[in-house]
């Protein structure tokens, strides 16, 4: 049967199909992108880019702009604080330059577009985010020559920002005096810039007035300005700020390979303050040469940091300093440095390792006092980086190479994590170096003060490009059970092996760690862990396993098993008596209340127990010993202030030892040293003691204890 279709009908059908392909689908595409632009910008970005590929697309200017905005994510910066680092999307130079090209396409091809001036602003924001003052100045000058008023207004505001960043406040104010108010979009930015200038000049009342005026106008765009997120909460921050109006300033420089980075935001807050989801408000901006200078601040302890565009450090290592908070009692200098990574000669990426040893070799770094080698364990999409000891048991390595014993590393003390059900990560049992997995290797160089001089890995890197090793060989059945976190089955497997061979050292080693960590709440078995670890030592002479068991005990474990634990510490040979041995034995003595013995051991632990050493001295009333210890330049606390402690101790020394408040304080030191109770109990105990004390010296010391414990 023949079906006749008129030519006209075919044409209409064809036109309908073409209309659907070239009109309906693109329209649906861009509307869907707009729908996802706020909630899922990464999806929106892809949809905008799909739209731009259509041969006929009537809203390409919109797609170009919104695709660029989705990429830049509101110009959110990466934050590097003394306490932690945090950030969201990581963008490299190529990605950001492609984004700038999208803005430039709008400038070139869509001069009548509603997105024209926004694209111009996007170019300026991007160059600020990149720390590119030359291109910023070039495009500011371009904007001045345009006929469109809004474009000129943007150029004025961003030139004013450039003057502000370079601390040329008079030039900024003179320029802004020519700005004509009347456009809410521009006025909003104007008032914020005026507020920033007054803030830098330390007229905080005027600054707050301008921030309030900006808030009254509101901001209709999701994107930020001046290369950063919208500072919409700055007025609240300033209103609550209590460390300003001081005489002390922090000055410094932010550099990459010695070259200053402009437009980096400088952040300042109290230690342990936490980090708001909207970001941190700046107290200074770096100038064209990377220098910064904060407002005058009060004497105190601070967490200092920076907000920086991610492309700047994409191929650079950040050089951390051995400083965990900044004590300010006068003008202070502090620099932030990024550097091209040092070179690791071996291993190469995914280098196969046969046998029980592997070597790491690197190019030496000038003025380096020692190096550390770190392994990265990748588990369920997350990673943990741990320092590993060489075959001589050293963490701090001299020279430009080190050899590592894989069996030794399996039992070395190392970091671990536990979930809410108290199930430990497999590496705590297996060690971080084992077969059937790729292990990235990182080398860091440090000076004699513990400040990083270089690192082999930039802040952003894909692990497949990082030097790494892969152990040749297959995991055993028991090891596979451990890797899969089937710990109870692994215990059964290794217990069955012992029925066949009671002297199976590998089974005893794994069981000792499985017993001491347990496989969930209430499954820890200290006695079995000690028994297995002791058998390993008796059979092999290797004390690593028993040390690992001892190191995983808590104060109650030490007290409940004090006799057998004392025997174990006594039999461990001298060659195993490293900082971990003294760490664990010091913890044992402290749990028993033998504080002088604990103090003696803590002195060998590489500054791990500084706080406890001071508490012990105060408990025994040995004030001069405590002060002498604090005046040692090698003694550095994470959070406590040495000056404040000395001040408090000197006042305390004048108090008779039969004084009631001293007795209360001494009894409190006894409880805190013995680690009595859980976190909440100890905090409540502290509050009770603190509120009962009036003596100024004890109060000063208690304030430092509070800071040390993050209460």
Cα angle value 36/41/47 (rounded, 5°): 65
* Two structure tokens written together for 540: 């092999």
- Mean predicted confidence (pLDDT) in 451-469: 88
pLDDT confidence band for 280 (50 / 70 / 90): confident
Distance CA 78, CA 87 (A): 4
pLDDT class for 22, splitting at 50, 70, 90?
very low
- State the burial class of residue 586 (Cβ atoms within 10 Å of its Cβ: 0-12, 13-18, 19+): buried
Residue-level pLDDT at 1 = 47
pLDDT tens across 331-342, in order? 999 999 999 999
Altogether, the residues listed in the chain come to a count of 711
Q: What angle do CA 115, 121, 127 make, to 5 degrees?
A: 135
Calculate ∠ Cα 672-678-680, nearest 5°. 95
β-strand partners of 122: none
The mean pLDDT value for 487-514 works out to 96
User: 91 pLDDT band (50/70/90 cuts)?
Assistant: confident
| Residues 111-123: tens digit of each pLDDT | 999 999 999 999 9
Helix H, strand E, coil C: the string for 53-113 is: CCCCCCCHHHHHHHHHHHHHHHHCCEEEECCCEECCCCCCHHHHHHHHHHHHHHHHHCCCC
Distance CA 442, CA 393 (A): 18
What is the reported pLDDT for 26? Answer: 62
Residue 283's pLDDT is 95
Task: Look at residue 29 in the predicted model and tell me its pLDDT.
Answer: 59
Q: How far apart are CA 55 and CA 653, in angstroms?
A: 84
Contact 349, 465 (CB under 8 A): yes
Query: 236 or 127: which carries more pLDDT confidence?
Result: 127
Per-residue confidence at 419, pLDDT binned at 50, 70, 90?
confident
The reported pLDDT for the residue numbered 272 is 72
| Stretch (H or E) spanning 371 | strand 370-379
Confidence of residue 465 (pLDDT cuts 50, 70, 90): confident
Q: Containing H/E element for 453?
A: strand 452-455
Residues 6+ apart with CB under 8 A from 391: 357, 402, 403, 404, 405, 408
- Alpha helix ranges (H) inside 377-432: 406-410, 427-430
Q: Using an 8 Å Cβ cutoff, are 249 and 294 in contact?
A: yes
* Confidence at residue 230, expressed as pLDDT on a 0 to 100 scale: 83
Mean pLDDT over 167-177 rounds to 97
419: phi then psi, degrees, rounded to nearest 5: -85, -175
Closest alpha carbon to 321 in 252, 244, 401: 252
pLDDT tens digit string along 136-152? 999 999 999 998 899 99
Whether 566 shows a pLDDT value over 90: the answer reads yes
Q: Would you state the structure tokens that stand for residue 119, as one six-digit string?
A: 């694209």
Cα 525 to Cα 519, 557, 561, 582, 591: the distances in Å are: 10, 10, 12, 24, 19
Q: What is the pLDDT of residue 19?
A: 45
pLDDT at 189: 94
Residue with tokens 């050493």: 613
- Look at residue 3 and tell me whether its pLDDT is greater than 60: no
pLDDT on residue 626 = 96
Residue 180 DSSP class: P
pLDDT band at 224 (very low <50, low <70, confident <90, very high): confident
Structure tokens belonging to residue 658:
């039969």
pLDDT computed for residue 381 by the predictor: 61
Higher-scoring residue by pLDDT: 126, 382: 126
Residue 301 β-bridge partners: 327
Mean pLDDT in residue range 612-624: 95
Cα–Cα distance for residue pair 262/285, rounded to 1 Å: 8
φ, ψ for residue 3, nearest 5 deg: -110, 125
Tens digit of pLDDT for each residue in 669-699? 999 998 888 888 999 999 999 999 999 999 9
What pLDDT shows up at residue 211?
94
> Does the structure show a pLDDT above 90 at 568?
yes
- Average pLDDT for the chain: 88
pLDDT of residue 222: 62
SS3 287: coil
CA 148 to chain centre: 44
Distances (CA, A) of 409 to 374, 381, 391, 430: 12, 23, 9, 9
- At 387, give phi and psi (nearest 5°): -75, 135
Residue whose pair of structure tokens reads 């920076």 in the numeric block: 306
pLDDT band at 20 (very low <50, low <70, confident <90, very high): very low
pLDDT tens profile 314-326: 889 999 998 888 8
Using DSSP, state whether 196 is helix, strand or coil: helix
Q: Is 645 helix (H, G, I), strand (E, B) or coil?
A: helix
- Does residue 14 surpass a pLDDT of 60? no
Q: What percent of the chain has pLDDT over 90?
A: 63
pLDDT reported for residue 17: 54
User: Could you give the CA distance from residue 141 to residue 155 in angstroms, rounded to a whole number?
Assistant: 7
Instruction: Tell me the C-alpha distance between 63 and 50, whole Å.
Output: 9
Check residue 459 and give its pLDDT: 86
DSSP, res 432: S
Q: What is the pLDDT of residues 506-541, one digit of tens each?
A: 999 999 999 999 998 889 999 999 999 999 999 999
């Amino acid at each position: 049967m023949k079906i006749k279709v008129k030519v006209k009908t075919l044409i209409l059908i064809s036109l309908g199909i073409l209309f659907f392909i070239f009109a309906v689908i693109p329209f649906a595409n861009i509307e869907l992108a707009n729908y996802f632009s706020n909630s899922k910008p990464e999806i929106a970005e892809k949809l905008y880019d799909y739209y731009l590929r259509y041969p006929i697309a009537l809203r390409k200017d919109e797609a170009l702009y919104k695709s660029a905005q989705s990429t830049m994510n509101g110009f959110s910066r990466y934050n590097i604080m003394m306490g932690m680092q945090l950030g969201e999307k990581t963008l490299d130079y190529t990605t950001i330059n492609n984004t700038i090209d999208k803005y430039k396409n709008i400038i070139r091809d869509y001069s009548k577009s509603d997105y024209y001036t926004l694209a111009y602003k996007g170019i300026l924001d991007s160059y600020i985010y990149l720390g590119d003052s030359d291109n910023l100045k070039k495009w500011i000058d371009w904007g001045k020559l345009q006929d469109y008023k809004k474009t000129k207004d943007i150029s004025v505001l961003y030139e004013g920002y450039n003057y502000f960043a370079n601390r040329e406040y008079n030039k900024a104010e003179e320029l802004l005096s020519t700005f004509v108010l009347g456009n809410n979009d521009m006025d909003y930015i104007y008032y914020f810039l005026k507020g920033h200038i007054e803030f830098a000049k330390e007229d905080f009342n005027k600054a707050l007035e301008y921030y309030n005026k900006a808030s009254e106008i509101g901001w209709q765009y999701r994107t930020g300005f001046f290369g950063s997120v919208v500072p919409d909460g700055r007025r609240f921050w300033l209103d609550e700020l209590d460390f300003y109006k001081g005489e002390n300033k922090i000055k410094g420089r932010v550099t990459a390979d010695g070259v200053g980075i402009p437009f980096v935001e400088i952040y300042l807050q109290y230690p342990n303050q936490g980090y708001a989801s909207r970001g941190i408000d700046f107290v200074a901006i770096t100038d064209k040469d990377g220098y910064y200078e904060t407002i005058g601040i009060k004497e105190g302890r601070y967490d200092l940091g920076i907000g920086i565009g991610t492309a700047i450090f994409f191929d650079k290592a950040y050089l951390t300093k051995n400083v965990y908070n900044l004590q300010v009692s006068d003008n202070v200098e502090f620099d932030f440095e990024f550097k091209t990574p040092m070179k690791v000669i071996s291993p190469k990426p995914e280098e196969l390792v046969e046998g029980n040893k592997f070597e790491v070799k690197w190019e030496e770094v000038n003025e380096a006092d020692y190096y550390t080698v770190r392994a990265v364990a990748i588990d369920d999409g997350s990673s943990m980086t741990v320092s590993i000891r060489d075959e001589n048991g050293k963490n701090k390595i001299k020279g430009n190479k080190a050899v590592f014993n894989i069996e030794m590393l399996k039992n070395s003390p190392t970091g671990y994590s536990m979930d809410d059900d108290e199930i430990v990560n497999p590496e705590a049992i297996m060690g971080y170096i084992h077969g059937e997995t790729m292990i990235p290797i990182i080398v860091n160089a440090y000076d004699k003060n513990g400040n990083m001089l270089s690192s082999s890995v930039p802040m952003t890197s894909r692990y497949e490009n990082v030097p790494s090793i892969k152990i040749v060989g297959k995991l055993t059945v028991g090891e596979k059970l451990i890797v899969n976190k089937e710990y109870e089955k692994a215990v059964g497997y290794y217990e069955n092996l012992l029925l066949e061979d009671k002297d199976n050292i590998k089974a005893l080693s794994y069981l000792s760690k499985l017993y001491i960590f347990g496989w969930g709440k209430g499954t820890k078995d200290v006695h079995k862990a000690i028994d297995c670890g002791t058998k390993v030592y008796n059979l092999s002479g290797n004390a690593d396993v028993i040390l690992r068991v001892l190191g995983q005990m808590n104060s109650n474990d030490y007290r409940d098993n004090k006799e057998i634990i004392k025997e174990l510490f006594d039999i461990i040979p001298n060659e195993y008596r490293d900082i971990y041995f003294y760490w664990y034995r010091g913890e044992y003595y402290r749990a028993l209340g033998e504080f002088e013995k604990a103090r003696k051991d803590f002195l060998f632990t590489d500054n791990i127990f500084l706080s406890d050493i001071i508490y012990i001295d105060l408990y025994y009333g040995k004030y001069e010993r405590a002060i002498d210890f604090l005046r040692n330049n090698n003694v550095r606390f994470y959070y406590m202030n040495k000056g404040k402690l000395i001040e408090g101790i000197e006042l305390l020394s004048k108090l008779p030892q039969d004084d009631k408040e001293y007795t209360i304080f001494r009894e409190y030191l006894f409880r805190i040293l013995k680690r009595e109770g859980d976190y909440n109990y100890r905090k409540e105990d502290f509050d009770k003691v603190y509120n009962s004390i009036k003596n100024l010296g004890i109060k000063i010391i208690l304030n430092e204890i509070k800071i040390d414990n993050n209460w």
